[in-house]
Amino acid sequence: MSRFKTICSVILVFSIVIVTLTLGQSLIFRLPDMYLFHFNDSRCVDKLYTSLTSTQMADEIAGFMNSFRPEEFQVHDFTGYDELPIFDSRDSYNMMVMKKMVDVSGIFCVIGLILMISIYILLVRDEETRLLRKSFLAGAAFSGAAIVLQAVILSASGLRSSYFRLWGVRQAAEDSKLELIMGDDFWAVCTVFLTGISLIILAVLAYVNYRVTRPPRIFY
């Protein structure tokens, strides 16, 4: 085996891990479904005492996550006479940081997909299906460990806070409206959703890998 193919196999292992995690993160944080599930289950939006429904709040947050270079995060309550901002400046700043995290995750997802597909095409063309199978098994094992680590960090309040501080997230105010709707209960739901979607993505990748690398059948 050439050194180039060995390097490709190593890159493939890490690409599988990156895609498994970041694709799940992009789907969860950019779509309104997870937000809406949590808001409906906890009824936390009602505690804001605004005219917004859970669906409207979920759509506002998902829309912000999908926006291009927004100047700030803010949701307004229409009172009939005026538009009142719901979140304070610190909440807005923290959501901007969160969007940055999601955007960086999306960039890594695209890079990982490009690398993974390119290496598969290259090694399949060179009939290195055995190497692909071994690389995928290693990537799946590391992905499983990464999924567990992600779940531990997000579900443990102390670890999650420390991780977010590395990105620049600030301590929320005692009366934070963002903390009210996206506090510990939100991250518990988020952990379940992320773990589930990541496992589904890994299963899909495993099926694709099997279809691409399976040995030719002798008897039909």
pLDDT value at residue 174: 86
* Residue found by looking up tokens 């304070």 in the block: 88
DSSP symbol at 216? P
pLDDT value at residue 217: 61
Q: What is the mean pLDDT of the chain?
A: 93
Read off the pLDDT of residues 55-87 as tens digits, 9 standing for 90 and up: 999 999 999 999 998 999 999 998 777 888 999
Q: What phi and psi values does residue 172 have, to the nearest 5 degrees?
A: -70, 150
Structure tokens at 105: 């995750």
Angle between helices 89-125 and 157-167 (to 10 degrees): 90
For residue 84, the SS3 value is strand
Burial of 10 by CB count in 10 Å (0-12 exposed, 13-18 middle, 19+ buried)?
middle
pLDDT value at residue 27: 95
pLDDT value at residue 218: 54
Read off the pLDDT of residues 23-63 as tens digits, 9 standing for 90 and up: 999 999 999 999 999 999 999 999 999 999 999 999 999 99
Q: Contact 73/92 with Cβ under 8 angstroms?
A: yes
pLDDT value at residue 7: 93
Domain extents in the chain? 3-213
Structure tokens at 109: 């997802």
Structure tokens at 85: 């901002």
pLDDT value at residue 101: 97
DSSP symbol at 214? P
Predicted TM-score (pTM) of this structure: 0.91
pLDDT value at residue 1: 58
pLDDT tens digit at each of 220 positions of the chain = 588 889 999 999 999 999 999 999 999 999 999 999 999 999 999 999 999 999 999 999 999 999 998 999 999 998 777 888 999 999 999 999 999 999 999 999 999 999 999 999 999 998 888 999 999 999 999 999 999 999 999 999 999 999 999 999 999 888 899 999 999 999 999 999 999 999 999 999 999 999 998 876 655 5
CA 170 to chain centroid, in Å, comes to 21
